[in-house]
Amino acid sequence: MTAIVVLGSTNMDLVAYVVRAPLRGETVTGREFRTVPGGKGANQAVAAARAGGNVAMIGAVGSDAFGRHLRHTLEASGVDTDLLHTADGPSGTAHIVVDDEGGNAIVVVPGANGTVTALGPGDETLIATADTLLLQLELPLSVVVEGAAAARRHGVRTVLTPAPARALPPELLAATDLLVPNEHEATLLTGLTDPEAAAGALLAQVPEVVVTLGARGTLYANRDGARIHVPAPRVTAVDTTAAGDTFTGALAVALGEGRPVEQALRWASCAAALGVRREGASTSMPYRPEIDAEYARVTAAPPDELPRPAPERHPAETSAPATNSEIGNPS
């Protein structure tokens, strides 16, 4: 079983389901409201654990009911939370509006996540035991850089999701093995709108890149000249909120198990496709038997011959993996 450490955020997602998102200054009536455990770090941890990884989480929750709920959710999915600290004050929150097309808009309030500014006692020791370290940018940048450097010292593969999108310091990129931006983030990092050109430019800074392209699938590139495009499974989406996190968590498991890159991308895309057919962030993420069954289904016949899976609620056609940050600040 591949060992994965996630250094990242935990948020309680406050989700309103609406026919359409309000315009600026407008009030709309929602159909439903839910509180759902989320945060990019926690989402990736749950996704990896449910996909079969041995996962531990480094981060912080608040000393409130949300914090207790977030910790319980991680533990219920099999994530080790021994180094998930409880900070005085509120937990992080993400305020999400999900429309009938499955798209979303998100505002993140860091809360306890903002207290994680440096690695604490035991954090580097835990990172050293991992096969893979998963990083995102919802924690203070100082600890993300420190975590990547610790992984590099111990020969641990570092996978970075550069979201929320921002300029990245050279020392972080130098310690990153695999960068997983979406198309928008790849453009922000390089100034190039063509995904293949952007991936090529990023290879000057990192050895491997996976650019997620929404309905067009994923593009993999490495410094040896490999270019692999994997089409996205066709699905009918309910909620794309954590699709990118589901994809990344599952990809970390697949690569850690030694799967060939193309197979790993397809398997992770199947995980994301399953997730967008359900509402919620971490609650939507599939377990390994579901992913294996979906992978077998989509690889058994050409895509045009496959029946389209039915959604579980409020359908809207899309493809996966669509990352959160393609449609809003990711959770």
**Residue at token pair 């480094």:** 58
How confident is the prediction along the chain (331 residues), in pLDDT tens digits per residue? 899 999 999 999 999 999 999 999 999 999 999 998 999 999 999 999 999 999 999 999 999 999 999 999 999 999 999 999 999 999 999 898 989 887 888 888 999 999 999 999 999 999 999 999 999 999 999 999 999 999 999 999 999 999 999 999 999 999 999 999 999 999 999 999 999 999 999 999 999 999 998 878 899 999 999 999 999 888 777 777 778 999 999 999 999 999 999 999 999 999 998 988 777 667 789 999 999 999 999 888 665 555 555 555 543 334 444 333 332 333 4
Closest CA to 311 of 298, 320, 299: 320
pLDDT at 318: 40
Q: Cα separation of 317 and 183, whole Å? A: 20
Burial class (CB in 10 A: 0-12, 13-18, 19+), 275: buried
Residue positions forming the annotated binding site for ATP = 182, 212-217, 244-245
Beta 234-237 vs 316-319: how paired, if at all? antiparallel
Buried b (16+ CB within 10 A) or exposed e, 235-254: bbbbbbbbbbbbbbbbbbbb
CB 282 within 8 A of CB 36: yes
Residue positions forming the annotated binding site = 11-13, 39-43, 138, 182, 212-217, 239, 241, 244-245, 275, 278, 280, 284
Q: What is the DSSP string of 251-306?
A: HHHHHHTT--HHHHHHHHHHHHHHHTTSSSSGGGPPPHHHHHHHHHHHHSS-GGGS
Delineate the domains of the chain, giving CATH numbers in brackets. Answer: 3-326 (3.40.1190.20)
Phi, psi of 118 (to 5 degrees): -155, 160
Q: Name residues whose C-beta falls within 8 Å of residue 288's C-beta, 6 or more positions apart in sequence.
A: 50, 51, 52
The residues facing 222 across adjacent strands are: 208
Whether residue 245 lies in the annotated active site = yes
**Residue at token pair 């600890």:** 143
Residue positions forming the annotated binding site for substrate = 11-13, 39-43, 138, 245
Chain mean position to CA 151: 19
Residue positions forming the annotated binding site for K(+) = 239, 241, 275, 278, 280, 284
Q: Cα separation of 317 and 56, whole Å? A: 35
Q: Which run of H or E residues covers position 228?
A: strand 227-230
CB 242 within 8 A of CB 211: no
Residue 90 identity? P
Reduced to 3 states, what is the DSSP secondary structure of residue 183? Answer: helix
Annotated catalytic residue, options 99, 123, 131, 245: 245
Beta 92-98 vs 54-62: how paired, if at all? unpaired
Residue 35 identity? T
